[in-house]
Protein backbone atom coordinates (compact mmCIF):
# COMPACT_ATOMS: atom_id res chain seq x y z
CA UNK A 1 0.00 0.00 0.00
CA UNK A 2 1.35 3.42 -0.94
CA UNK A 3 1.91 6.22 1.57
CA UNK A 4 -0.99 8.18 0.06
CA UNK A 5 -3.30 5.19 0.40
CA UNK A 6 -2.24 4.88 4.06
CA UNK A 7 -2.83 8.61 4.57
CA UNK A 8 -6.28 8.39 2.97
CA UNK A 9 -7.28 5.50 5.23
CA UNK A 10 -5.97 7.37 8.29
CA UNK A 11 -8.02 10.48 7.44
CA UNK A 12 -11.14 8.41 6.75
CA UNK A 13 -10.79 6.48 10.03
CA UNK A 14 -9.64 9.52 12.03
CA UNK A 15 -6.68 7.43 13.13
CA UNK A 16 -4.38 9.91 14.86
CA UNK A 17 -1.45 7.49 15.24
CA UNK A 18 -1.54 6.58 11.55
CA UNK A 19 -1.82 10.24 10.53
CA UNK A 20 1.26 11.03 12.61
CA UNK A 21 3.10 8.03 11.13
CA UNK A 22 2.40 9.22 7.56
CA UNK A 23 3.65 12.79 8.05
CA UNK A 24 7.28 13.87 8.40
CA UNK A 25 8.01 15.84 11.59
CA UNK A 26 8.90 18.89 9.42
CA UNK A 27 5.71 18.56 7.33
CA UNK A 28 4.23 21.71 5.79
CA UNK A 29 0.80 21.95 4.12
CA UNK A 30 0.45 24.99 1.84
CA UNK A 31 -3.18 25.94 1.18
CA UNK A 32 -2.91 28.46 -1.62
CA UNK A 33 -6.69 29.11 -1.59
CA UNK A 34 -6.51 30.26 2.05
CA UNK A 35 -2.95 31.70 1.91
CA UNK A 36 -1.92 29.52 4.88
CA UNK A 37 0.82 27.07 5.77
CA UNK A 38 -0.12 24.41 8.32
CA UNK A 39 2.23 22.28 10.43
CA UNK A 40 2.00 18.55 11.08
CA UNK A 41 0.20 19.02 14.40
CA UNK A 42 -2.30 21.46 12.85
CA UNK A 43 -3.11 19.05 10.01
CA UNK A 44 -3.48 16.08 12.35
CA UNK A 45 -5.82 18.12 14.57
CA UNK A 46 -7.83 19.16 11.50
CA UNK A 47 -8.01 15.55 10.35
CA UNK A 48 -9.19 14.44 13.77
CA UNK A 49 -11.92 17.11 13.81
CA UNK A 50 -13.94 15.26 11.16
CA UNK A 51 -14.12 18.42 9.01
CA UNK A 52 -12.45 16.79 5.97
CA UNK A 53 -14.59 14.46 3.87
CA UNK A 54 -12.87 13.25 0.70
CA UNK A 55 -14.61 11.58 -2.23
CA UNK A 56 -13.49 10.21 -5.59
CA UNK A 57 -9.84 10.36 -4.53
CA UNK A 58 -7.48 9.60 -7.40
CA UNK A 59 -3.74 9.21 -7.05
CA UNK A 60 -2.67 10.50 -10.46
CA UNK A 61 1.04 9.84 -9.92
CA UNK A 62 3.20 8.58 -7.07
CA UNK A 63 6.81 7.49 -6.77
CA UNK A 64 9.32 7.61 -3.92
CA UNK A 65 9.90 11.37 -4.35
CA UNK A 66 6.62 13.03 -5.38
CA UNK A 67 2.92 12.47 -5.95
CA UNK A 68 -0.12 14.18 -7.47
CA UNK A 69 -3.62 13.53 -6.15
CA UNK A 70 -7.10 14.81 -7.00
CA UNK A 71 -10.17 14.64 -4.77
CA UNK A 72 -13.54 16.21 -4.14
CA UNK A 73 -13.56 17.52 -0.58
CA UNK A 74 -16.46 18.75 1.53
CA UNK A 75 -16.30 20.52 4.86
CA UNK A 76 -18.64 20.86 7.85
CA UNK A 77 -19.51 24.44 6.86
CA UNK A 78 -21.05 23.13 3.62
CA UNK A 79 -18.23 24.25 1.33
CA UNK A 80 -17.07 21.84 -1.36
CA UNK A 81 -13.90 21.93 -3.43
CA UNK A 82 -12.17 20.04 -6.19
CA UNK A 83 -8.61 19.78 -4.84
CA UNK A 84 -5.43 19.04 -6.76
CA UNK A 85 -2.48 18.29 -4.48
CA UNK A 86 1.24 18.10 -5.15
CA UNK A 87 3.08 16.08 -2.51
CA UNK A 88 6.76 15.53 -1.79
CA UNK A 89 8.21 12.74 0.33
CA UNK A 90 11.21 12.66 2.65
CA UNK A 91 12.46 9.66 4.62
CA UNK A 92 9.43 7.62 3.52
CA UNK A 93 6.89 10.13 4.83
CA UNK A 94 4.80 12.95 3.41
CA UNK A 95 7.05 16.03 3.66
CA UNK A 96 5.18 18.81 1.85
CA UNK A 97 1.75 19.18 0.34
CA UNK A 98 0.49 22.07 -1.79
CA UNK A 99 -3.07 22.39 -3.01
CA UNK A 100 -4.92 24.20 -5.70
CA UNK A 101 -8.66 24.21 -5.05
CA UNK A 102 -11.70 25.12 -7.11
CA UNK A 103 -14.84 25.94 -5.19
CA UNK A 104 -17.89 23.85 -6.13
CA UNK A 105 -21.58 24.65 -5.65
CA UNK A 106 -22.95 23.72 -2.22
β-partners of residue 87 are 67, 97
pLDDT computed for residue 78 by the predictor: 92
The structure's pTM equals 0.91
Question: Which CATH class name applies to 3-104?
Answer: alpha beta
**Residue pLDDT tens, the chain, 106 long:** 899 999 999 999 999 999 999 999 999 999 887 889 999 999 999 999 999 899 999 999 999 999 999 999 999 999 999 999 999 999 999 999 999 989 999 7
pLDDT computed for residue 34 by the predictor: 80
pLDDT computed for residue 32 by the predictor: 84
What ranges do the domains of the chain cover? 3-104
pLDDT computed for residue 41 by the predictor: 98
pLDDT computed for residue 37 by the predictor: 96
CA distances from 5 to 69, 76, 104 (A): 11, 23, 25
Amino acid sequence: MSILEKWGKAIEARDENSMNDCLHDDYKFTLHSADKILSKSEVVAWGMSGDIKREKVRILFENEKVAVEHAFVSFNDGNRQAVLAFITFKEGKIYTLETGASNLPK
